[in-house]
């Protein structure tokens, strides 16, 4: 089942950055990684997907619906982490989840403790978020994204600030969500992270989709996603074949 279908999506800012005729699809159970340097359009694409900005042109279909017409229905089935986590610093981790959960019709307060345990924050559930490290805030934001038991996850640099244990936890959690049939779109500029997390990769450069491929295909042909990225963007100076 196709969860995400984006065709010729375009959004340009005053500084001429953004995305230009971006197209890709994500099926249920797939993890698509948007790979590119800062300013390549990864976050812009995700903001368009989650209704945080309106595209200039192109079409989006998420969960079989158009965000321009059915955004509330889409967000009820979607978990998001875009840029800085939107947390309440003077509430505890538990209170943050309870408050966020009220936006989802199927929310059950009994979900809070199991979610905190999944992201490794159960011992800190009574602590105020203002005392959390960057990595702990990322964990809590991830728990918030999982509240609706999403069919789609949109995650912008999800492991930013996480330590080794946090990154390993996230990788296992993502595998569990894939098995459940959740589709995932995540962004990163770390090629080695893509190898661990993604089933597919899409390379963006200056707002343009350079190439897309399955991760096993990339590893078989190039040996690593880093080498693949350098070749398809011609950043290593070699002729692309």
Structure tokens at 89: 């610093």
**Rounded Cα distance, 37 and 104, in Å:** 34
Residue 229 has pLDDT above 60, yes or no: yes
- What digits encode the pLDDT tens for the residues 45-66? 999 999 889 999 999 999 999 9
Residue 177 CB contacts under 8 Å (≥ 6 apart), including other chains: 146, 150, 153, 184
**Rounded Cα distance, 48 and 71, in Å:** 11
Q: For residue 240, what pLDDT is reported?
A: 45
Q: For residue 237, what pLDDT is reported?
A: 52
**Rounded Cα distance, 102 and 196, in Å:** 33
205 located within any domain: yes
Q: For residue 236, what pLDDT is reported?
A: 58
Residue 2 has pLDDT above 90, yes or no: yes
Q: For residue 124, what pLDDT is reported?
A: 97
Q: For residue 82, what pLDDT is reported?
A: 86
Residue 198 CB contacts under 8 Å (≥ 6 apart), including other chains: 31, 32, 33, 186, 215
**Rounded Cα distance, 56 and 145, in Å:** 27
> Hey, is 177 helix, strand or coil?
helix
Name the pLDDT band for 17 (thresholds 50, 70, 90): confident
Contact 33, 158 (CB under 8 A): no
Average pLDDT of the residues in 9-24: 92
61 located within any domain: yes
Contact 96, 88 (CB under 8 A): yes
Average pLDDT of the residues in 31-55: 92
182 located within any domain: yes
Structure tokens at 20: 């230009």
What average pLDDT is seen over the chain? 92
- Write a three-state SS string for 80-93: EECCCCCCCCCCEH
Residue 235 has pLDDT above 80, yes or no: no
Question: Which H or E run contains 19?
Answer: strand 18-27
- What digits encode the pLDDT tens for the residues 173-185? 999 999 999 999 9
90 located within any domain: no
Average pLDDT of the residues in 82-92: 88
Contact 36, 189 (CB under 8 A): yes
225 located within any domain: yes
CATH number at residue 73: 3.40.50.300
Residue 238 has pLDDT above 80, yes or no: no
Number of domains making up the chain: 1
CA 90 from centroid of its chain's CA atoms: 26
Among candidates 211, 213, 212, 214, which has minimal Cα distance to 233?
211
202 located within any domain: yes
Contact 143, 137 (CB under 8 A): no
Q: Please give the radius of gyration of the chain, using alpha carbons only, rounded to the nearest integer.
A: 18
Q: For residue 188, what pLDDT is reported?
A: 84
Name the pLDDT band for 85 (thresholds 50, 70, 90): confident
213 located within any domain: yes
- What digits encode the pLDDT tens for the residues 95-148? 999 999 998 988 999 999 999 999 999 999 999 999 999 999 999 999 999 999
Which range of residues forms the domain containing residue 187?
1-77+178-241
* CA distance to 136, 139, 171, 238, per residue, from 122 (Å): 11, 11, 19, 50
Name the pLDDT band for 161 (thresholds 50, 70, 90): confident
Name the pLDDT band for 218 (thresholds 50, 70, 90): very high
111 located within any domain: no
Average pLDDT of the residues in 205-220: 96
């Amino acid at each position: 089942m196709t969860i995400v279908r984006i065709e010729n999506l375009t959004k340009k800012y005053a500084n001429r950055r953004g995305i230009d005729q971006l197209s890709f699809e994500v099926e249920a159970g797939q993890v698509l990684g948007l790979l590119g340097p800062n300013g390549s359009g990864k976050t812009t694409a995700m903001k368009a997907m989650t209704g945080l900005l309106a595209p200039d042109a192109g079409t989006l279909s998420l969960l079989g619906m158009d965000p321009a017409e059915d955004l509330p229905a889409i967000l009820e089935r979607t978990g998001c982490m875009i840029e800085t986590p939107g947390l309440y610093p003077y509430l505890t981790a538990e209170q943050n989840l309870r408050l966020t959960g009220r936006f989802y019709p199927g929310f059950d307060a009994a979900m809070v403790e199991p979610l905190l345990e999944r992201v490794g924050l159960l011992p800190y559930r009574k602590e105020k978020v203002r005392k959390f490290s960057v990595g702990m805030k990322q964990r809590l934001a991830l728990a918030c994204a999982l509240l609706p038991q999403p069919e789609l996850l949109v995650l912008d640099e999800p492991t930013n600030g996480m330590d080794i244990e946090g990154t390993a936890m996230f990788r296992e959690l993502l595998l569990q969500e894939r098995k459940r049939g959740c589709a995932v779109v995540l962004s990163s500029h770390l090629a080695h992270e893509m190898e661990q997390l993604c089933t597919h990769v899409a390379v963006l450069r200056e707002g343009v989709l350079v190439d897309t491929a399955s991760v096993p295909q990339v590893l078989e042909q190039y040996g690593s996603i880093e080498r693949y990225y350098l070749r398809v963007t011609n950043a290593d100076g070699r002729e692309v074949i």
